[in-house]
Structures are given as C-alpha cells and as structure tokens.
C-alpha cells in the first residue's frame, strides 16, 4: 500500500453539475489559495501534490479542467501534459502555471497543446477568467 496521499476533494454540496477542476501543484500555499478561490466560485476541486498523483487521478476521474504546475517532484508538468496529450482523444483543457520566466518553457507548453500559460505570481482574477473562458468554449 502506498503512503502517497490521495487527491483531496472538495465538491460543493450534492450537485455534480459543477465543473470539476484538478489542481496539480506541489506548492501547498499556492494550491490552497487556488483551491479556496475555486470553491468560492462554485467549482468542484481536487488536489494532487505531484505529477504522478495528478496523472493517475486524471486518468481515473477525467476532470473538466487541469491547473498544472511545471516544476514538481516525481513527474514534471511537462511530462504529465505529454502523457495526457498522447492518450486523450478529447483533450482536457489545461492551464499551466509556473514561476519560470523563460520563453522556451512557454513555447514547449504551447507545442504540447496547453490552453493557457500563466506566470507566477498572478492575480486570482486572471486565473478565474481563464478557467471560465475555457469551460465555456
């Protein structure tokens, strides 16, 4: 049995109609602030603290949208995105968040099919607007 934590779920009330968003990020402070903002906006939220956990959860549960950090232990955000795009006939929208300022990372993420790329620090409104736009397409 693995001692790896399972993704944390915070689904609002009993409604399964709210979009389900998975946050994959090892930065607990960033993850918690995003999680709280999403819950307050009415989204169902799960959290994975590394790339392997996030990938396993995504393959099992198919969330409506992913918020994915690049630099994480066990499997980077790039490796998660590569795997998802190889195996997914209907791609899940992905917002990649990163503290890395380099344009090479942005270009690679775009080549892999990321839907939005947001540099940390960012305003929560910027993230919420991107989520809304992607879910309403």
> pLDDT tens digits, residue range 110-126?
999 999 999 989 999 99
Residues 6+ apart with CB under 8 A from 74: 50, 51, 52, 53
Q: What is the mean pLDDT of residues 86-100?
A: 86
- Cβ within 8 Å of residue 111, ≥6 positions away: none
Q: Where does residue 107 rank: exposed (0-12), middle (13-18), buried (19+ CB within 10 A)?
A: exposed
The CB-side HSE value for 131 (13 A sphere, CA atoms) comes to 29
> Is a pLDDT exceeding 60 seen at residue 101?
yes
pLDDT of 90 strictly over 80: no
> Is the pLDDT assigned to residue 106 strictly greater than 90?
yes
pTM comes to 0.87
Residue 44: CB partners within 8 Å, gap ≥ 6?
A: 9, 10, 11, 12, 16, 18, 19, 20, 21
Per-residue pLDDT tens for 49-72?
999 999 999 989 999 999 999 998
Q: How far is CA 19 from the centre of its chain?
A: 13
Domain ranges of the chain: 18-135
Tell whether the model's pLDDT for residue 94 goes beyond 80.
yes
Mean pLDDT of the chain, nearest integer: 87
| Two tokens, residue 14 | 């009993």
Superfamily of domain 18-135: Response regulator (3.40.50.2300)
Q: What is the pLDDT of residue 69?
A: 95
């Amino acid at each position: 049995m693995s001692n790896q934590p399972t993704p944390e779920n915070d689904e609002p009330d009993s409604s399964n109609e709210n979009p389900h968003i998975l946050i994959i990020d090892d930065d607990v402070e960033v993850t918690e602030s995003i999680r709280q903002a999403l819950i307050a906006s009415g989204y169902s939220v799960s959290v994975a603290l590394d790339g392997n956990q996030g990938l396993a959860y995504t393959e099992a549960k198919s969330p409506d949208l992913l918020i994915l950090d690049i630099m994480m232990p066990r499997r980077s955000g790039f490796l998660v995105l590569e795997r998802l795009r190889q195996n997914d006939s209907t791609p899940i929208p992905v917002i990649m968040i990163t503290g890395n300022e380099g344009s090479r990372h942005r270009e690679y993420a775009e080549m892999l099919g990321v839907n939005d790329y947001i540099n940390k620090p960012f305003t929560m409104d910027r993230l919420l607007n991107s989520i809304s736009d992607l879910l309403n397409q």
